[in-house]
Amino acid sequence: MSALRAIMRKEVSDHFSSSRFLILFSLIAMVSVLMVYMAGLKIAQDLEGEVKPTFVFLMLFTSSGIGFPLVQFVAFFGPLVGLILGFDSINREWNEGTLSKLLAQPLHRDAVINGKFLAGVLVIGVTLTAIVLVITGLGLVTLGVVPGAEELYRIFFYLLVSLVYVCFWLGVAILFSILFRSITTSALASLASWIFFSFLIPAAASAAPPLSGESQTGYVMRMAELERTLSLFSPMRMYLESMAVIVDPLRRTASALVAVGRNEDISLSRFAGPLSLDQSLLMVFPQIVFLVAILVLCFAVSYIVFQRREIRSI
Amino acid sequence: MPGQPAIQTQELCKRYGAQVAVDRLNLSVAEGEVFGFLGPNGAGKTTTLLMLLGLTEPSSGTARVFGLDPRRQPIRVKRQIGYLQENMGFYRDLDARQMLDFIAELNGLPAKEAGERARAALRAVGLAEEAGKKIGAYSRGMRQRLGLAEVLLKQPRIAFLDEPTIGLDPDGTARMLEVIERLTREHGMTVLLCSHLLEQVERVCTRIGIMITGRLVAQGTLAELRTAKFGVGGEEYTLEQIYLRYFRESTA
Ligand SMILES: Nc1ncnc2c1ncn2[C@@H]1O[C@H](COP(=O)(O)OP(=O)(O)OP(=O)(O)O)[C@@H](O)[C@H]1O
Ligand SMILES: [Mg+2]
């Protein structure tokens, strides 16, 4: 236990004092502040002279001023943060000969992985929270709104699910750093998996051309089917789906699929009043379970591989 | 348990693919002994240490440290052993004090005791003056001294010292040997010393084992080895001559 704490403490201070983290953090902070600020200005403009609807504050997360909304931004670049924080966590120590020194102390091998992972979780958590706090401040400045209790709860779950999502990628990076002895290889593998899941899978989902003689509805249905199949392999999709519902109380469906078929129904129901928080959470429960499950899976593989690794530094 | 050997291996083997790094090793080291572990490069000395520490899986055979199996009870075994690695790694961004604090915390030492032990250890290896300097800026020998300080901090019952005096200046070497002698005399510590510097081995070791391509070809006191190779009355032969005789015979 004390060993785990020791490793965690050392890793956290390593992260916070590393220029890698500093650059990453300032980049993310700058971009998200800019995006939310623009979104805020746009919302303020749209709402000019109208009665303020409920949950204006949450709109900061989902509406786009320039580029894309914050939720999308995290879905896209969150993985990169996780990967960058973890891709060399084990193999660097391996190459520098500190791993065998660490493991010669009275601790289990898991403690090394756990300590490093928990340190990463803490760092990511702090980063996400800091950004949300800044956004809250911006909301006050641009829109003059203070988030209500319900909105705060939703923000909390937004943070929580985002944390799980980014930490899944941290777990992937740690796994790579165990699988590959060379830091360059694990960096490349991280980059490749990010590109694969963030660009290739979404592109594949929208690239299929309509078959000849296929009706418009048939095509749409087939595309939706394809998307659903591919989304089983896409943490990003799962994250976006759960975010859409958690941050938007008016959303009554997690996937875009139904919205196409029953368009009117949906637009009617948008005026039927917002969902309560637990209704929203219930709706995206499968997505959240999926995210947690792949995180756990990733860990299980890491443990098994690391347990049997030859640890010597020549 | 009294009378129990500090280290015991039975038919211990380690294979890397087709290569046999350690071949049916039967080794026994009693508590309080300073055991000199000799052998040419690649003989399997480090591999043996790693198997005793539970850092490398044996291919077959058993290893015991105070009767404990390093595979089954790695934590209890590693609590007994201080290990000075051959290719030591350090966290370059820490200074010596922080490094020792980290090691102490990993071992669950209370902060106050850790501080005292760290100061004493740094003094014993002659690093007290440089304790605030980042390890990245240490010279090779200073790092070696720090490695010894880490072992001292832990106050283990057994010390595995893998080529501890490499890169040390004469003062460092003298300190190292003094520390070994003092610890065994005052605290009954057991030492397993791998080294190629035979005069040093001759000076501090109570018993010697010679390993050649994975096999332990001899073990015993200096006098026993000498008698085995040169007969009685061969007192003028040094360990170096004895060792070379064993080496040439096994590789011939
Ligand atoms: N990971 C590995 N994969 C394959 N072979 C290995 C591995 N580690 C060590 N060996 C081999 O095992 C043998 C024993 O190595 P070991 O490090 O135990 O030698 P040593 O006696 O400590 O030598 P030295 O005096 O040079 O330190 C060597 O032939 C080495 O090539
Ligand atoms: Mg060696």
Q: Name the residue of chain B whose CA is nearest to A2's CA.
A: B108
Query: Does the pLDDT of residue B120 top 90, yes or no?
Result: yes
Least confident of A273-277, B45-49, B240-244: A273-277
> Is A106 close to B75, i.e. CB distance below 8 A?
yes
Distance between CA atoms of residues A256 and A258, nearest Å: 6
Least confident of A128-137, A175-184, A253-262, B220-229: A253-262
Residue A267, domain member (yes or no): yes
Most confident of B39-48, B85-94, B163-172: B39-48
Per the CB < 8 A criterion, the answer to whether B193 and B201 are in contact is yes
pLDDT tens-digit profile of B56-67? 999 999 999 999
Query: Does the pLDDT of residue A314 top 60, yes or no?
Result: no
Pocket flag, ligand 1, residue B14 (CB < 6 Å): no
Distance between CA atoms of residues A80 and A122, nearest Å: 16
Residue A131, domain member (yes or no): yes
- Phi/psi of residue B158, each to 5°? -130, 140
Which residue has the CA at smallest separation from atom 3 of ligand 1? Answer: B16
pLDDT tens-digit profile of B149-190? 999 999 999 999 999 988 889 988 998 899 889 889 988 999
> Is A314 close to B81, i.e. CB distance below 8 A?
no
**Partner-chain residue, chosen from A6, A105, A313, that has the shortest CB–CB distance to B89:** A313
Residue A111, domain member (yes or no): yes
Distance between CA atoms of residues B9 and B1, nearest Å: 17
> What is the ipTM for the molecules in this complex?
0.90
> What is the CA(B43)–ligand 1 centre distance, in A?
7
For residue A264, the model assigns a pLDDT of 47
Percent of chain A with pLDDT over 90: 39
Residue A313, domain member (yes or no): no
Query: Does the pLDDT of residue B147 top 70, yes or no?
Result: yes
CA distances A173 to A109, A124, A169, A189, A193, Å, are: 17, 14, 6, 9, 10
Q: Write the DSSP symbol of residue B108.
A: T
For residue A258, the model assigns a pLDDT of 41
The SS3 call for residue B159 is strand
Distance between CA atoms of residues A191 and A213, nearest Å: 40
Least confident of A71-80, A220-229, B110-119: A220-229
Pocket flag, ligand 1, residue B39 (CB < 6 Å): yes
The C-alpha R_g of chain A, in whole angstroms, comes to: 22
Contacts of B234 (CB under 8 A, 6+ apart): B226, B227
pLDDT tens-digit profile of A201-214? 777 766 666 677 77
Query: Does the pLDDT of residue B48 top 70, yes or no?
Result: yes
> What is the CA(A115)–ligand 1 centre distance, in A?
30
Which residue has the CA at smallest separation from atom 22 of ligand 1? Answer: B46
Query: Does the pLDDT of residue B97 top 70, yes or no?
Result: yes
> Is B108 close to A104, i.e. CB distance below 8 A?
no
In this prediction the pTM is 0.88
Q: Which atom of ligand 1 is nearest to the CA of B17?
A: 4
The SS3 call for residue B100 is helix
> What is the CA(B48)–ligand 2 centre distance, in A?
9
For residue A248, the model assigns a pLDDT of 76
DSSP string, chain A: -HHHHHHHHHHHHHHHH-HHHHHHHHHHHHHHHHHHHHHHHHHHHHTTTSPPPTTHHHHHHH--SSSS-HHHHHHHHHHHHHHHHHTTTTHHHHHHTHHHHHHTSS--HHHHHHHHHHHHHHHHHHHHHHHHHHHHHHHHHHH-----HHHHHHHHHHHHHHHHHHHHHHHHHHHHHHH-SSHHHHHHHHHHHHHIIIIIHHHHHHHPPPPTT--HHHHHHHHHHHHHHHHTT-HHHHHHHHHHHHH-TT---SSSHHHHHTHHHHHHHTTS-PPPHHHHHHHTHHHHHHHHHHHHHHHHHHHHHHHT------
Query: Does the pLDDT of residue A301 top 90, yes or no?
Result: yes
Query: Does the pLDDT of residue B24 top 90, yes or no?
Result: yes
For residue B96, the model assigns a pLDDT of 94
Q: Write the DSSP symbol of residue B95.
A: B
Residue A231, domain member (yes or no): yes
Residue A280, domain member (yes or no): yes
Pocket flag, ligand 1, residue B57 (CB < 6 Å): no
Give the mean pLDDT of A71-97. Answer: 91
Q: How many angstroms separate the CA of residue B90 from the nearest CA in chain A?
A: 6
Pocket flag, ligand 1, residue B55 (CB < 6 Å): no
Residue A314, domain member (yes or no): no
Tokens linked to A107: 């601790």
**Rounded to 5°, angle at Cα B79 from B76 and B81:** 115
Q: How many angstroms separate the CA of residue A186 from the nearest CA in chain B?
A: 21
A234: confidence class by pLDDT, cuts 50, 70, 90: confident
- Expressed as residue numbers, the domain containing A105 is 2-308
Per the CB < 8 A criterion, the answer to whether B181 and B9 are in contact is no
Least confident of A1-10, A62-71, A238-247: A62-71
- Phi/psi of residue B211, each to 5°? -115, 130
A85: confidence class by pLDDT, cuts 50, 70, 90: very high
Query: Does the pLDDT of residue A51 top 70, yes or no?
Result: no
For residue A52, the model assigns a pLDDT of 66
Burial class of residue B251 in the structure, from the number of CB atoms within 10 Å of its CB (0-12 exposed, 13-18 middle, 19+ buried): exposed
Angle between helices B140-154 and B111-124 (to 10 degrees): 140
Structural domains in chain A (count) = 1
A152-162 b/e (C-beta count within 10 Å ≥ 16 → b): ebbbebbeebb
Q: Which atom of ligand 1 is nearest to the CA of B22?
A: 14
Give the mean pLDDT of B181-207. Answer: 91
